[in-house]
């Protein structure tokens, strides 16, 4: 089962910085006021001074000074400062040497004080283990639930998955659906996909093909690079190809198969090849059919069988054109893969 780990690596860059960094007179005055109070021991002022240094608001940007003041605020019990110090240890930023144990310690302090960001991070760390903790589904579920109840979308999705698997919580399709739906409503692509599957299979909710189609379409249209949209594309293509709960529309089926095929899905490549061959839902194009069968044949034996049949009908020139088109499509597919791989690496997958 898949988890969402954006918050463990990629989203830890979300620090409380201002959006209008600059050196306006108002910011300079605010900075000087924070500094005066901070030097007298005010924890909130220390925190705001750290934010000013990090953002370069009212002073020159100075991440090292920011780290110093975040630490001072954290040591006085400032919850958000504790989260930021945890982040700094986690990433090795603002003058802190990377130290996962220290990161977890500070995240825990912040999480105990109710900081949802820290709760979400801790939940993610306990799901997988490493980086300062051992895997612990009970702790993962505890912190993930806390973050989910505060509206953190990735935590909502992960909590649904924990309930689906029965990891750290009693297995419950009803609860899994509840939390996946919560994440779906906030635009989480995998949550939208899982919600659609719940409506398909009647898991935690009554079967409903219309709602399944609605949420699967949402997932397919989602631009989240961490989500494998091919599964949604293929589902939609099949629904329209078979007229399953919708008016049969081979042109729509072809468009969805084509999206998955261009992302390298072998089954979609095979299906779209047959549509091109027959001119069903697409203009008849045997060269295009050849190219997609050629690609699908790497993984699917039946595609190789059909390619041989098609090849026997084509001229040398058409076969050469099909081979050329195969190379073009392969290059297009490979060009998409580095972007997806990079997104996944940033997400800690």
Q: What pairs with residue 130 in β-bridges?
A: 133
> What pLDDT sits at residue 337?
76
> What pLDDT sits at residue 342?
46
Integer Cα distance of 336 and 239 in angstroms: 26
> What would the pLDDT profile of 113-154 be if each residue is shown by its tens digit?
999 999 999 999 999 998 989 999 999 999 999 999 999 999
> What pLDDT sits at residue 4?
57
> What pLDDT sits at residue 249?
97
> What pLDDT sits at residue 39?
97
Over its C-alpha atoms, the chain yields an Rg (Å, rounded) of 26
The widest CA-to-CA distance across the chain, in whole angstroms, is 87
Low-confidence ranges of the chain (pLDDT < 50): 5-14, 17-22, 341-349
What domains, with CATH codes, occur in the chain? 1-148 (1.25.40.10), 230-349 (1.25.40.10)
pTM of the model: 0.84
The CB density around residue 254, as the number of other CB atoms within 10 Å, is 21
Integer Cα distance of 51 and 69 in angstroms: 9
> What pLDDT sits at residue 23?
77
> What pLDDT sits at residue 6?
42
Integer Cα distance of 175 and 162 in angstroms: 9
Q: Which of 170, 208, 188 shows the shortest CA–CA distance to 2?
A: 188
Question: 12: which DSSP letter?
Answer: G
Distances (CA, A) of 169 to 3, 32, 142, 183, 296: 16, 50, 9, 18, 41
Integer Cα distance of 148 and 142 in angstroms: 10
> What pLDDT sits at residue 13?
41
Contact 191, 226 (CB under 8 A): no
């Amino acid at each position: 089962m898949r988890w969402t780990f954006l918050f463990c690596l990629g989203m830890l860059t979300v620090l409380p910085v201002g959006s209008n960094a600059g050196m306006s007179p108002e910011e300079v005055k605010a900075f000087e006021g924070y500094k005066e109070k901070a030097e007298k021991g005010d924890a909130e002022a220390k925190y705001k001074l750290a934010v000013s240094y990090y953002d370069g608001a009212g002073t020159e940007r100075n991440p090292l000074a920011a780290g110093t003041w975040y630490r001072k605020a954290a040591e006085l019990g400032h919850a958000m400062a504790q989260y930021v110090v945890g982040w700094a240890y986690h990433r090795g930023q603002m003058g802190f040497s990377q130290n996962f144990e220290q990161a977890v310690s500070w995240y825990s302090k912040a999480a105990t004080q109710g900081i949802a960001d820290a709760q979400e991070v801790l939940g993610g760390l306990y799901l997988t283990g490493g980086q300062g903790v051992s895997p612990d589904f009970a702790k993962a579920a505890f912190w993930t639930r806390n973050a989910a109840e505060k509206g953190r979308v990735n935590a909502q999705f992960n909590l649904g998955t924990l309930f689906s698997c029965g990891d750290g919580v009693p297995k419950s399709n009803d609860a899994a659906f509840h939390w996946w739906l919560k994440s779906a409503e906030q635009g989480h692509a995998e949550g939208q996909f899982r919600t659609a599957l719940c409506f398909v299979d009647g898991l935690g909710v009554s079967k409903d093909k219309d709602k399944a189609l609605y949420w699967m379409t949402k997932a397919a249209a989602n631009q989240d690079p961490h989500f494998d949209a091919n599964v949604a594309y293929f589902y939609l293509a099949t629904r329209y190809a078979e007229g399953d709960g919708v008016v049969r529309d081979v042109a729509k089926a072809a468009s969805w198969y084509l999206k998955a095929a261009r992302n390298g899905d072998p089954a979609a490549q095979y299906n779209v090849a047959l549509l091109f061959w027959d001119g069903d839902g697409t203009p008849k194009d045997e060269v295009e059919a050849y190219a997609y069968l050629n690609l699908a044949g790497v993984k699917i034996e039946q595609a190789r069988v059909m390619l041989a049949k098609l090849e026997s009908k084509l001229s040398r020139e058409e076969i050469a054109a099909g081979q050329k088109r195969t190379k073009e499509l392969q290059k297009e597919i490979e060009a998409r893969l580095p972007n997806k791989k990079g997104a996944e690496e940033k997400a800690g997958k």
